[in-house]
A = this chain, B = another copy of it.
């Protein structure tokens, strides 16, 4: 069976055939509980493939998968041609891996018997698991820390890709922040997401180098109305008021870069902000339920705004208790982050919980890997985070340790298109 072609496609068929009575626990528990999932939709099946090609990149409004492997790369070549070539190779590999094709082929590179296998093999036998791969370009790709325009694209840098300001309380670790390129891999099986990032890194040897990487184990946002809202490590439902795939008008206004917004190459793309937010869960766990709910502005059980009964009820910021005090505090997280307090700004969030072992001080190194897509960070993430960083009582329990900003180009069209075409031509 050396060099066998046991493809992941075969695994899908097997999984599809034998599924009755076996629940999708890790992958599908949230969706099952919501009761609103349409089991007939093939691409809605947690084992299936999500289309790679399209107007926009997959992995943005795609219903948030349950697992994440995110990587930021430094470009270590100075050769523009080699970089573009890698982006082409990556695109082909991404199209294959997201479809579950060829990922299980253990043939040697170029057919040379003494060459390494052309796939690392750990996803052999696993279905596509709704893998999406989403690429982004960081500010340093256009002009590096020394001011150099390594690849002749400084004049193509969008104004919206302006370095984020330092926010009050930031405790960023430079080695965990930034990056010339990023790839977000989301899937319902972490082995599939890890396999994809590892194989992109392998293809990039000598051209790029892994700067930082992050695994996430539980989604904290829904990006579709069909998904139940999941919980973050504070135990609260997170992302109830998130931008959702069904809100087409809001997506146009708040998510996708429109013609005239900046350089043409970004039209149909979106800007990505990542923040690794350490959560001091041990301190949080010593806080009373009443105080936790006051800080968040929502009920812990149902997720309803304080004073309301259903998770999806709109917060009533005017409501008062018997003593005339606001039911939702002015400095509650839900108030500060609400579009009505931020010039109507929304974010499409798709963050993940993480636990990276312990911190050497007897505590878990746990938190939220925050991911938000938007049309222009200068009008969305930056003002919202400025307000939160200044006033949110939750900050007492948070440390922002990593930050990333990336311009994610539009989707790849079938045929000769590739991840670098929009930017590099």
Binding site for B on A (CB under 8 A): 1-4, 6, 11, 14-16, 18-33, 35, 37, 39-40, 45-47, 66-67, 69, 71, 74, 76, 106, 108, 113-117, 119-127, 129, 175-176, 188-191, 194, 197-198, 201-202, 205, 209-215, 217-218, 228, 231-236, 281-282, 285-290, 292-293, 299-302, 304, 309, 353, 355-358, 360, 362-364, 366
Contact = CB atoms under 8 A, between A and B. Distances in A.
Given A198-B281, A353-B191, A288 B214 contact: no
B25 A129 contact: yes
A236 B117 CA distance: 12
Contact of A364 (B27, B125, B210, B364): B210
A395 to B, nearest CB: 19
B211 A358 contact: yes
A125 B231 CA distance: 9
A351 to B, nearest CB: 14
Given A19-B21, A121-B231, A191-B353, 17 more contacts: A1-B309, A3-B289, A4-B302, A14-B33, A15-B25, A18-B32, A21-B45, A26-B67, A26-B190, A71-B358, A108-B289, A114-B288, A116-B288, A122-B234, A124-B235, A201-B364, A217-B217
Contacts of A76: 362
A352 B287 CA distance: 34
Contacts of A213: 355, 357-358, 364
B302 A1 contact: yes
B209 A362 contact: yes
B301 A2 contact: yes
Contacts of A115: 288-289
A22 B37 contact: yes
A191 B211 contact: no
Contact of A127 (B29, B113, B121, B362): B29
Contacts of A113: 288-290
A235 B121 contact: yes
12 contacts: A19-B23, A22-B45, A26-B46, A106-B235, A114-B288, A117-B288, A123-B231, A124-B301, A198-B281, A215-B355, A215-B356, A356-B356
A179 to B, nearest CB: 11
Contacts of A286: 116, 205
A362 B233 contact: no
A335 to B, nearest CB: 19
A28 to B, nearest CB: 5
A120 B190 CA distance: 25
A15 B23 CA distance: 7
A213 to B, nearest CB: 5
A291 to B, nearest CB: 8
Given A14-B33, A189-B25, A282-B201, A304 B355 contact: no
Given A3-B301, A120-B285, A25 B22 contact: no
Contacts of A16: 23
Nearest to A121: B235
Contacts of A18: 32, 35, 37
Given A114-B290, A115-B288, A116-B286, A25 B188 contact: yes
B47 A21 contact: no
Contacts of A234: 121-122
Contacts of A123: 231
A357 to B, nearest CB: 5
A369 to B, nearest CB: 11
Contacts of A4: 301-302
Nearest to A30: B125
B363 A210 contact: yes
Nearest to A363: B210
A107 to B, nearest CB: 8
A274 to B, nearest CB: 13
